[in-house]
Chain A
Amino acid sequence: MRKWRQTQIKLSAILTVAAVVAFFTSCADTRFQSVLNPKSTQAAEIALLWWVMLGVFTVVLLAVTLLVAAAVLRRYDGRRGELSDRQKRNMVLIGGVIIPVVVIFAFVIYSVSVGRYTASVPHDAPITIEVVGHQWWWDIRYRVSGRDLNVRSANEIHVPVGVRVKFVLESRDVIHSFWIPNLQGKTDLIPGRKNFTWVTATEPGIFRGQCAEFCGLQHAKMAFIVVASPEAEFYAWLERQIQPARQPVTEAQVRGREVFETTSCTLCHTIRGTQALAEVAPDLTHVGSRQTLAAGSLPNTRGHLAGWLANPQQIKPGSRMPNLYLRNDELDALIEYLSSLE
């Protein structure tokens, strides 16, 4: 009977470990916004740290739970169940002091060594990307070898694979936090301060990042995507981004540019090569080439663009983008023009 009981306890312990590991590994697949699918050297170090901690601490949790269960479920039979004071003292000393001290000591050393690596931003990195947080979008600029390329984009970051990329983080309004779970832990964007972080992507892919510090009404819809591509591809992309906006070709596109330049769009947005040069909202010079709209909350398709332009306050209530009240023909032309800006 007693033996069966012990087997039961062992069995349930093994099942629990299996369940916990299965639960966490079930999401370590191909997700593009996940800590458990690391695709950079930094995120890989942190993910390993996580798995080690998960393993050790699951054992600790199980040990404590089993001890509590053993303490209360033991059949009382005279003096046999009793522990002597010496045994009790040893139990408290070993379980409460010695084991925690040893585990914590190892943990602190391991954690600090990982932290030294992930936080050692290389200030000589070949590529520097400046990220400025705004309510509720990301302004992105690129510098290569210290030279400002005057490439400005929004809510989409391109990085080359295998190259150290340094990020300079600033904010123009409230505190935001820059986070790409697959690539690197978060760093805050604090007004009046410059913070730094870095990423070395290991595989090409598209990842999603999201603001992690509550920043007001549309904090939930302040996301961005990160495209990691082979170096050659990255530089080709950068080359295209340096170009001013493509000239309108069709009649509808010409009409669309006219609408853009004659309505309130120009008060906030830039399209290089036109008269729109305002910097308070995302740069739209190559908006057609981007994958998302409204800071990572919609895929960039004509339908979503139409919906966004027609009623941004419906999609992102409180967004700084006002409803434009365009006529239908104006809207069509504008969509035609903006989608052409690749």
Chain B
Amino acid sequence: MEKAERETIKAPSDNRYYSAAEVEDVAELDRTWASPTGIVGWFQVVNHSNIGRRYVITAFVFFLLAGVLGLMMRTQLMQPEMKLLHPDLYNQIFTMHGITMMFLFAVPVMEGLAVYIVPLMLGTRDMAFPRLNAFGYYVYLLGGITLYVALLFGIAPDAGWFNYPPLASSEFSPGMRVDIYAMLITFIEIAALVAAVELVVTIFKQRAPGMSLNRMPLYVWSILVTAFMIIFAMPVVMVASMFLAFDRNVGTHFFEALSPAGQGPLLWQHLFWFFGHPEVYIIFIPALGIISSIVTTFARRPVYGYTALVLSIVATGFLGFALWVHHMYTTGLPQLGLSFFTAASAMIAIPSGVQIFCWIATLWGGRPQFKTPLLYVLGFFFIFVLGGLTGVMIASVPFDAQVHDTYFIVAHFHYVLIGGAVFPLFGGLYYWFPKFAGRMLSETAGKWSFALMFIGFNVSFFPMHNLGLMGMPRRVYTYIEGLGWNDLNLMATVGAYVLGVGVLISLINVIYSAINGRESGPNPWDSDTLEWACASPPANYNFSPMPAVDSLHPMWDMKERGVRPAVTGVRTDMRQVLTTTLMDARPHALSNLARPSIAPLLLTGAVGLGFIGFLFSINWLILSFFLAFFAIVYWNYPRYDERTPPWKKEGENGN
């Protein structure tokens, strides 16, 4: 386009000039990609940015709820023989804390963030299956709400988040509680799977032209590996918990102690941990991507060792599937077999070491900007390395025999999960908030929040190592006087409250800054990846025109050269995106995405009726099957007015 043709209409959001033709295009794009409004409209929304935002907000609500449950537990354990919580309630609370943090917070928040960020990083307009995306969110929301309603009625699951039979069998846990666990875990994991499939397809097929695999941002790599891990790990827990539901309700004998093999209870442990250990990495690997983004931006240079980082992320993903037995060291399995798992577990230290030293090398000698996101990453370094080292310790079979199922383990996994996922996630929140909201978060509040979280976390969880070595088992609702655990427990409780205050400051910061924050503009941190090329918050259509890239750092290149490579020829009157080839991202087709629809909500209702109705009667499951069939038909029913371009429609005479 000639320079002379350019009109001087300056879009305030992304600070560049548009020609008259472009302005028209943009207006039409805006109409095409607009989300329906109103209450009914709210349930028809399919745009990835809306769904991603809903995921992240919902997940944070569950994070706060689970945090409150954690504080309740810490209050009960503040002193020996406290009578604050009845053991029955305590058991529900610790089970719900675990379930919420693992299934309702960690995985959905990582996937939700990816749903929001990945299409922007890839330079596309939406994800491959927008309606499926909405379906996943509703499933997750319905499942989470049902679990908390159960807690309100005092019938929440109470056999721990890993729910070992025979304790979880109908003999020792009669009633609805464990059924709720079994059905809802399966139900909620549908959401995780759906989002994973969606992410894989989007990453493989919708990258901006020129974004070959070796120019893909590390965050996208980490999400790709995570999504594959979800696809392989989640079905295992879904099958296992369905088996358990059958054992309890239909009288099958999958996990019965006296089954012919006599290994029923161990079968559950193998299946559960074959999912459960990769789950930890499903939570942790996206954090590696977040850290890479933050380190690159605030060190103001390309990350060192891109290839090494990609390989180490992939290696972590593979190794994550070879470790599950280290949760079962005390079950009496043969020593030789166990020692393989010792070696495999310790091996994780190698890719982790590579990652950490690549980031150190990136930061070395630069002029890092000490903004809040970077502080959270620095906090990550200390906490995660400490947690990783205790992780190597408990890879040792004899040492684990001493600390397994004690507070040492509680300390260890909070160090790796809070250090390895929550701190980077908060860093990511401060980093990407300007993109979500178009406004900056307060730096002062951010630094206070970080300081309190860091101190509170360590004061709370470090003494737990000691408590474990001093013999305190986990999952106890109280302890007797005279074991020498009082002071450290009190310290842990105080630390937990400080941590809570730190989180609260960030919460207030988010709410306040969303309204009053300083306007951020499209690229406030001067970052390198494509999500910063679009307006903040992104327009309905994300990009116009759709970008093309020729390096790993498109934004820095654009700044240097003053040109923005772009794709033209994508329709503006339809929800059309460009698909590219898997390896080299050469353009190869245009594909039309689905429009907003109520179908995902209907299907969620149908499927949810089956899963939740199963708790009362199996007939609901049968009804649900038929309803789901109709919902799927409605979902896929061809509507020519939506899919066929107008010029074709005229010729086909109202077909």
Contacts and interface: CB of A to CB of B under 8 A. Distances in A.
Interface of A: 23-24, 27, 31, 33-36, 43, 45-46, 49-50, 53, 57, 60-61, 64-65, 67-68, 70-72, 74, 76, 81-83, 88-89, 91-92, 95-97, 99-101, 103-104, 107-108, 111-112, 114-119, 135, 173-175, 177, 179, 181, 184-188, 190-193, 195-196, 208, 210-221, 297, 317-318
Contacts, number: 273
A237 B478 CA distance: 33
Contact of A220 (B88, B305, B378, B477): B477
B305 A92 contact: yes
Contacts of B266: 190, 193
Contacts of A67: 360
27 contacts: A34-B484, A46-B402, A49-B398, A57-B393, A65-B382, A68-B382, A74-B365, A83-B365, A92-B308, A95-B357, A96-B353, A104-B349, A104-B392, A112-B339, A116-B335, A174-B164, A175-B166, A181-B469, A187-B401, A192-B257, A192-B265, A196-B332, A213-B405, A216-B172, A219-B473, A220-B477, A297-B480
Contacts of B87: 217-218, 220, 317-318
Nearest to A30: B484
B32 interface: no
A57 B354 CA distance: 17
Contact of B339 (A108, A184, A193, A213): A108
Interface in B357-401: 357-358, 360-361, 363-368, 370, 374, 378, 381-382, 385-386, 389-390, 392-393, 395-401
B86 interface: yes
Nearest to B389: A57
Given A46-B398, A83-B365, A92-B361, A119 B335 contact: yes
Contacts of B349: 100, 103-104
B331 A50 contact: no
Given A46-B399, A57-B393, A71-B360, A173 B172 contact: yes
B361 A88 contact: yes
B593 to A, nearest CB: 41
Contact of B368 (A72, A118, A188, A211): A72
Contacts of A61: 382, 385-386, 389
Interface stretch (B340-348, B508-516, B599-607, B639-647): B340-348
Nearest to B256: A192
B257 A115 contact: no
A175 B159 CA distance: 12
A131 B42 CA distance: 60
A51 to B, nearest CB: 11
A35 B484 contact: no
Contacts of B395: 111
B341 to A, nearest CB: 11
Given A71-B364, A111-B396, A119-B397, A186 B404 contact: yes
B473 A210 contact: yes
B57 interface: no
Interface centre among A24, A35, A61, A81, by most B CB within 10 Å? A35
Interface of B: 86-88, 91, 159-160, 164, 166-167, 172, 257-259, 262-266, 304-305, 308, 330-332, 335, 338-339, 342-343, 346-347, 349-350, 353-358, 360-361, 363-368, 370, 374, 378, 381-382, 385-386, 389-390, 392-393, 395-406, 466, 469-471, 473-480, 483-484
Which label, helix, strand, loop or mixed, suits the secondary structure of the B interface?
A: helix
A49 B478 CA distance: 30
A212 B475 CA distance: 9
Given A118-B401, A317-B86, A65 B172 contact: no
The 8 A-B residue pairs with the shortest CB-CB distance in the complex, in nearest-first order? A185-B401, A81-B365, A220-B476, A33-B471, A192-B257, A111-B396, A191-B257, A96-B353
A119 to B, nearest CB: 5
Contacts of A115: 335, 338-339, 342, 396-398
B402 A185 contact: yes
Nearest to B368: A72
A185 B403 CA distance: 8
B332 A88 contact: no
Nearest to B374: A72
Nearest to A119: B335
A218 B473 CA distance: 13
Nearest to A73: B368
Q: Identify the interface centre among B265, B401, B471, B473: most chain A CB within 10 Å of its CB.
A: B471
Contacts of B398: 45-46, 49, 111, 114-115, 117-119, 185
Contact of B469 (A35, A60, A208): A35
Contacts of B470: 27, 31, 33-36, 181
A115 B477 CA distance: 32
B157 to A, nearest CB: 12
A72 B379 CA distance: 13
A91 B360 contact: yes
Given A190-B266, A217-B87, A211 B339 contact: no
B434 to A, nearest CB: 23
Most buried by A among B262, B342, B399, B474: B399
B353 to A, nearest CB: 4
